[in-house]
């Protein structure tokens, strides 16, 4: 599918850029697909959320649970957020963030 620049409507080409992202004091190197305008040079990320990707890499590095896995475990115990937060001894808001995809702390 041909894409067009949102700034000037010219054709774009697809490239990859390197971006550094800081997750809890650790630098994560991302290789991201971008669409670069051949006319005005505007770069737009190609349907990726850099933060989400950086968190996923960080989790993989540290062997952390994914948000889906945390939710699965909680639901397998038949607990709501508040109950599970008490069981694992973290604030309910923090648990909500973890299930929402923010990288959890390495243990």
Sign of CA dihedral 64, 68, 70, 73: negative
Q: Which of 17, 40, 45, 86 binds Zn ion (CB under 5 A)?
A: 40
77 binds Zn ion (CB under 5 A): no
Q: Please report how close the Cβ of residue 80 comes to Zn ion at its closest, in angstroms.
A: 48
Given a contact cutoff of 8 angstroms between Cβ atoms, the answer to whether 45 and 54 are in contact is no
The DSSP letter of residue 90 is S
Specify the stretch interacting with Zn ion by CB under 5 A; choose among 1-9, 14-22, 55-63, 96-104: 1-9
Q: Please report how close the Cβ of residue 38 comes to Zn ion at its closest, in angstroms.
A: 8
Specify the stretch interacting with Zn ion by CB under 5 A; choose among 23-31, 42-50, 75-83, 92-100: 42-50
Among positions 10-29, residues that touch Zn ion (CB under 5 A) are: 10
- Burial of 78 (C-beta count, 10 Å sphere; 0-12/13-18/19+): exposed
Residues found in the chain: 107
């Amino acid at each position: 599918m041909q894409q067009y620049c949102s700034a000037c409507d010219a054709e774009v080409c697809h490239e990859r850029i390197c971006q550094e992202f800081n997750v809890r004091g650790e630098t994560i190197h991302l290789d991201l697909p971008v669409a670069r305008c051949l006319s005005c040079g505007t770069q737009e990320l190609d349907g990726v959320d850099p933060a989400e990707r950086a968190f996923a890499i960080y989790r993989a590095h540290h062997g952390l649970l994914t948000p889906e896995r945390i939710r699965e475990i909680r639901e397998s115990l038949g607990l709501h957020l508040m109950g599970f937060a008490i069981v694992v001894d973290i604030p309910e808001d923090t648990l909500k963030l973890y299930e929402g995809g923010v990288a959890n702390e390495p243990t």
